[in-house]
Amino acid sequence: MFRKAVSGILFALLLIGVLAFALNIRLVNASGTIYIKADGSVEPPDAPILNVENVSYTLIDNIYDSIVVERDNIVIDGEGSTVRGTEAYDSKGIYLSGRRNVTIKNMEIKAFYYGILLYGSSNNSIVGNNIANNKYGMGLSESSNNSIVRNNITANSWDGIWLSVSSKNSIVRNNITNNYWGVALYLSSNSKIYYNNFINNKDPVYDGSWDYPEYYAPSINVWDHSYPFGGNYWSNYTGVDLYSGVYQNVTGSDGIGDTALTIDKNNRDCYPLMAPISVFDDGTWNGASYSVDVISNSTVSEFQLNTTEKTIKFNVTGETGLGFCRVTIPNIVIQNMWHGNYTVLINDQPWPFTNWTDTENTHIYFTYQHSEHEITIIPEFPQATILSLFMILSLPVLVFTKRKLSRKHKT
């Protein structure tokens, strides 16, 4: 009887193994906390992280616990992998304490108490991550001069980003959506917070001084990048766009609201954007990475930058009413692609546009009736070049005509 039972168990285990192999199923156990140690090693050694020269760390599989970073001057690249928790109290997806020059990018972080937590850490970069369904999306405590760029910070049950005693940080080009508070501030001033989409948060911004002035002094930050660059998109903004210019008193729209959005008596976005921002990679120019930003009340898709044909193309789609685009292109691209001369086509037809230039970017604005359109920005020959080209092309005709007249005269 005992032998039959053992044989049955062994047969069942063998069958499970065969089925798992046939279906390509891998059983994954919780990894436990993973440490990137100060000496560059990864603990435990079998964690799914590829370590290249103790500088570059790439996730090669999903991780089902926390990553604690104890080393400076490194890059941690998720390459699309997920770091997932169990929503345990005080759990941290990625934790940096006392760290400098760490880049965390391209990963999905979910189901933690804190998706990412920086404590006493400076000059770090949080880039291109999806941080969703945590208690707090991202927290900075006593951490300054960090860069939070191009992240999707979504559906966190409390704060999308909170800053406590943290100054001089940059929060730029993020989607901060469907959180309780978008950005929460406690004794945190002198940060730059612009070109973000604040969409459908219960409140886009909260300052601890509003409810507890006896404990917190007001946090005072910069909420726009001046004119013509602009500020943030706020889904609760109710202003209109009839004017343009630094003082919004020049007739003609520019994609920026005519009145400031007041956050509190110490903070306001002077140039709120009239539609969400879509951010697209613009490649590397002179060793630096750039983006093209499209602010539009249309759905923007199929973005392409072709350096061979020297074109930027994308599609816009909308159902009814007047559509607009405000395209922000780095000046280095404008000069390298078009030598400063360009034109806009809609469905291959030349289209009127307005533009403004600052020290870093050119901003191109145009309107159209909503439908499905292809937008193309192409090089335009300057007038002097067109005249020279006309003269060169006309020269053979003149020579031929002169010879013909000369022959006729001789006869």
CA 221/CA 205 separation, integer angstroms: 12
User: DSSP for 68-132?
Assistant: EE--SSEEEE-TT-EEE----TT-EEEEEES-BSEEEES-EEESSSEEEEEES-BS-EEES-EEE
Q: Pinpoint the alpha helices (H) of 187-327.
A: 208-211
For residue 336, the one-letter residue type is N
**What tens-digit pLDDT sequence spans the chain (411 residues)?**
433 443 443 344 333 343 333 333 333 334 589 999 999 999 999 999 999 999 999 999 999 999 999 999 999 999 999 999 998 999 999 999 999 999 999 999 999 999 999 999 999 999 999 999 999 999 999 999 999 999 999 999 999 999 999 999 999 999 999 999 999 999 999 999 999 999 999 999 999 999 999 999 999 999 999 999 999 999 999 999 999 999 999 999 999 999 999 999 999 999 999 999 999 998 899 888 999 999 999 999 999 999 999 999 999 999 999 999 999 999 999 999 999 999 999 999 999 999 999 999 999 999 999 999 999 999 986 444 444 444 444 445 444 445 554 555 555
Do residues 118 and 142 touch, judged by C-beta distance below 8 A?
Answer: no
pLDDT at 381: 61
pLDDT of residue 403: 55
Q: Which residues contact 404 (CB under 8 A, 6 or more apart)?
A: none
Is the distance from CB of 49 to CB of 34 less than 8 angstroms? yes
